[in-house]
Structure 1
Amino acid sequence: MSQYKHVLIAVDLTEESHQVIEKGKAIAERNNAKVSLIHALEPLGFAYGGDIPMDLSSIQDQLDQHARDKISELAAPLDIPENQQHILVGMPDSEIHHLAKEQDVDLIVVGSHGRHGLSLLLGSTSTGVLHGAKCDVLAVRIHKEKKS
């Protein structure tokens, strides 16, 4: 098995993010590796095709702040410093690849919801990360959390 030095854990900030974090953290601990977290926000203009005749910057700022608060909550129990918590705006797979290259990451850990067929081809961030990565990628199967 490879000796990893820097593990980048990509999270979508949902309730299931801890499943991806736990797996990435365990691998990092076994390798005495640095751990970073990343969440990529798609710009609102992408989501709406730029067809909305209004300024979305204040909404984008609110989404950015919410993401920063949430990633900070996820990082706190792991003692991941703020400079290793990354919120980036752009296409998730591209932003993950860019940060991985910039930070000399040798393992990217992403969640996979186990979709099949067209949804896998058309919308899976984990597939995009896998196909463009210059390092190892681990896709962690996400299990839906049961509500109590």
Structure 2
Amino acid sequence: MSLYKHILVAVDLTDEADVVLDKAREIAEANSAKLTLVHVVEPLSVAYGSDIPLDLTTLQDEITQQARDRIHRLAEKIHVDNGEQHVVYGRPEREVHRIVEESDVDLVIVGSHGRHGLALILGSTSTSILHGATCDVLAVRVGKHS
């Protein structure tokens, strides 16, 4: 019996994403589970404040297109169909939780840098995804400790 049927992999599109994808592919194969990839693009107005008197639309569009290109290349490595590759706008934890609910996901896999001290207290994307998730969450260690 398979423990998981649908796995959502939240990736940040850095080189470290390969470590997370390898683990996701391994778990998906062991469970005959469907894989879905997501990358969340935070609106530039959130990242840099809404006080910037510039139209960031062109830059935001370019960032989104680069994210789509990168997620497509990552998905090809692990044979994930185009329909299961998502680049969405918003806050990562909110968007991941939304996709979990809408797509009947039973495991989220995300990379974690294993922060300590003040960085841990301030939170991280993986910690934010864990809190409030309605399914299992696997944080794969990435970075210099992986």
Q: How many Å separate the matches in 1 of 2:24 and 2:7?
A: 7
Q: TM-score, normalised by structure 1?
A: 0.93
- Structure 1 residue 121, shift from structure 2 partner: 2.7
Shift of 1:2: 6.3
What's the C-alpha RMSD, in Å, of the aligned pairs? Answer: 1.4
Q: Is the 8 A contact 1:107 1:135 kept in 2?
A: yes
Following superposition, which runs of at least 4 residues in structure 1 exceed 2 angstroms of deviation?
none
In the aligned structure 1, how far is the partner of 2:94 from the partner of 2:69?
Answer: 23
Pairing 1:19-98 to 2, within 5 Å after superposition:
19-98=19-98
Gaps of 5+ in 2: none
Give deviations 1:81-113, integer Å, cap 9, x for gaps: 111001011111111111111110000000010
Rounded to whole Å, the distance in 2 between the matches of 1:36 and 1:120 is 28
Q: Which runs of 5+ in 1 are unaligned?
A: none
What is the CA distance between 1:49 and its match in structure 2? 1.3
TM score, norm. by length of structure 2: 0.95
SS at structure 2 position matched to 1:137: strand
Cα distance in 2 between the residues matched to 1:75 and 1:8: 12
C-alpha distance in structure 1 between counterparts of 2:13 and 2:50, whole Å: 25
Q: Distance in 2 between matches of 1:2 and 1:143?
A: 30
SS in 1 for 2:29: helix
Asked if structure 1 preserves the Cα contact closer than 8 Å seen for 2:6 and 2:107, the reply is yes
Structure 1 segment 98-137 matched on structure 2, within 5 A: 98-137=98-137
Whole-angstrom CA distance in 2 between matches of 1:102 and 1:11 = 19
Corresponding residue pairs, total:
145
Tell me the percent identity.
56
SS at match of 1:111: strand
